[in-house]
Amino acid sequence: MPFTVHGRIFEGVHRGSGIIEYYYPRIVGLIGYHPYKGTLNIQLNFSIDIKKYATKKIEHILLDGKTTVNAFLARVELKFQDNVYECWAIRETREQYPRDVIEIIAKDNLDEKFGIREGMEVEIVFLDDIPLKRPSFWRGFFEKARDRKNKQQT
């Protein structure tokens, strides 16, 4: 069930581009597109545990076989003025900000595309469903071949 929270845009410590750069290949693989290399910082009206709403996580396996999580990702809709923009909220496990702050990963530079500025009020809807990925060319190719073979056998 979607969960809605309100917040305000603020200028952070300019570390968003570093986060994106550091996790870039993993983020692209998880969210399915190449994000803008920076984040949008939002001060929420109250603290949340993003882990409850995360549908993806950046993790890796240590040499001893244990798994460690570096960040949680939650699919969100960002609503402001008359716009609705689908993007992802990220929070690293080694948090730099308090729990009432989230960082937004988006395909576009939202400042430039929509004129988002510091102090602007926004609404964030945490979505609990994951969009279906479009099948790859090869998956579609093999599914069609299987279907043709099944038709021939009947």
Q: To 5 degrees, how large is the angle CA 110–CA 104–CA 77?
A: 80
pLDDT, the chain, mean: 85
Got the DSSP string for 64-97?
Answer: TS-EEEEEEEEEEEEEETTEEEEEEEEEESS-SS
Is residue 123 helix, strand or coil? Answer: strand
Residue 147 has pLDDT above 80, yes or no: no
Residues 64-83, mean pLDDT to the nearest whole number: 91
- The full set of domain ranges for the chain reads 3-153
Q: How many CB atoms lie within 10 A of CB 56?
A: 18
Output the CATH code of domain 3-153. Answer: 2.40.30.30
CA 92 to chain centre: 12
At residue 14, the pLDDT reads: 66
pTM of the model: 0.76
Q: How confident is the model at residue 85 (pLDDT cuts 50, 70, 90)?
A: very high
At residue 2, the pLDDT reads: 82
Tens digit of each residue's pLDDT (9 = 90 or more) over 118-146: 999 999 999 976 554 555 555 566 667 77
Higher pLDDT, 76 or 141: 76
| Contact assessment for residue 95 and residue 110, using Cβ atoms and an 8 Å cutoff | no
At residue 98, the pLDDT reads: 73
Residue 97 has pLDDT above 80, yes or no: no
At residue 149, the pLDDT reads: 76
Place of tokens 């396996």: 61
Q: How far apart are CA 29 and CA 39, in angstroms?
A: 18
Residues 11-37, mean pLDDT to the nearest whole number: 86
At residue 11, the pLDDT reads: 84
For 80, the token pair is: 């402001």
Tell me 129's DSSP state. S
